[in-house]
Amino acid sequence: MTDKNLEHNASEQKEQGSEQEHSQRRRVLLKGAVASLPVVMTLANRPAWGSGGGGNQCWSGIQSGNLSQDTHDTCDFGRSPGYYKNNVFGSPGWPVGFDHGCDSVASNGTLSAACKDLFKDTSAVGVPGTKFGDVFTSASGALADKTLMQVLWQDSGSFAFHAIATYFNALNSPHYSFQPDDALEIINDILAVGSHTDSLGHTWSESDMQDLFASLYHPGDP
């Protein structure tokens, strides 16, 4: 091999080494940038959380700002508040121990028209069923006194509306994005002070967390 060829090969190896070093440095910088993303940016990139397997990223990955498509860190979709207010039995239905308060339910788990009218009636008193405040102990005032069904039928789109579905999903599926204790802690924090600070120090406002809850429902749910 001539001196010219040797010189050419050495130059190529130097360039390859420089490219590898640059690539490695870029990965480190990107990792650091993701870790420092504010909550607002994390929410803005919410669609990237879904994996190639069609699931949701778990709460642990969401907190860390892990925007990868790693299917080993994915969790089940949950059902929406619109699903739970219309379906008390089925797969899934309301978790064991929660009273929906309707004495006339079809075999497929749907409510009678009379029950729906009762839950919609804002002037009704003595409505049967598990109260919101008995589940979410930080709730206060009129919200705490409403039954879960009253919240689902009267407060559509509210944080409380989404809180019920999120907690039910956590109880119904061991592979949901949130574990029951985590969901309960987050919901009670927000009901008490209007925000939740996660284990990595990120502060989630009520609207941020509500948006996150709503993003984790099964596609096509009402």
Write out pLDDT tens, residues 116-130: 999 999 999 999 999
Residues 49 and 73: their CA atoms lie apart, in Å, by: 10
Which residue type does 188 have?
A: N
Residues 16 and 131: their CA atoms lie apart, in Å, by: 66
User: What are the CA-CA distances from residue 115 to residues 22, 26, 69, 85, 101 (Å)?
Assistant: 65, 59, 43, 11, 8
pLDDT of residue 107: 86
Same domain for 192 and 110: yes
In a domain, 111, yes or no: yes
Token duo for residue 47: 């669609």
HSE, CB side, 13 Å, CA atoms: give it for residue 119: 27
Residues 6 and 147: their CA atoms lie apart, in Å, by: 81
Q: How many domains does the chain have?
A: 2
Range of the domain at 84: 77-215
Q: Are 66 and 51 within 8 A, CB to CB?
A: no
Same domain for 9 and 101: no
pLDDT of residue 216: 93
Task: Give alpha helix (H) positions in the chain.
Answer: 3-35, 39-44, 59-64, 81-84, 113-120, 132-135, 141-145, 148-154, 159-172, 180-193, 206-215
In a domain, 95, yes or no: yes
Computed on alpha carbons and rounded to an integer, the radius of gyration of the chain in Å comes to 24
Same domain for 170 and 84: yes
Q: What is the pTM of this model?
A: 0.74
pLDDT of residue 80: 97
Please give the chain's pLDDT, 222 residues, in tens.
Answer: 555 444 545 444 444 444 444 334 333 332 333 333 344 334 433 333 333 334 677 888 888 765 444 445 689 899 999 999 999 988 899 999 999 999 989 888 889 999 999 999 999 999 999 999 999 999 999 999 999 999 999 999 999 999 999 999 999 999 999 999 999 999 999 999 999 999 889 999 999 999 999 999 998 898
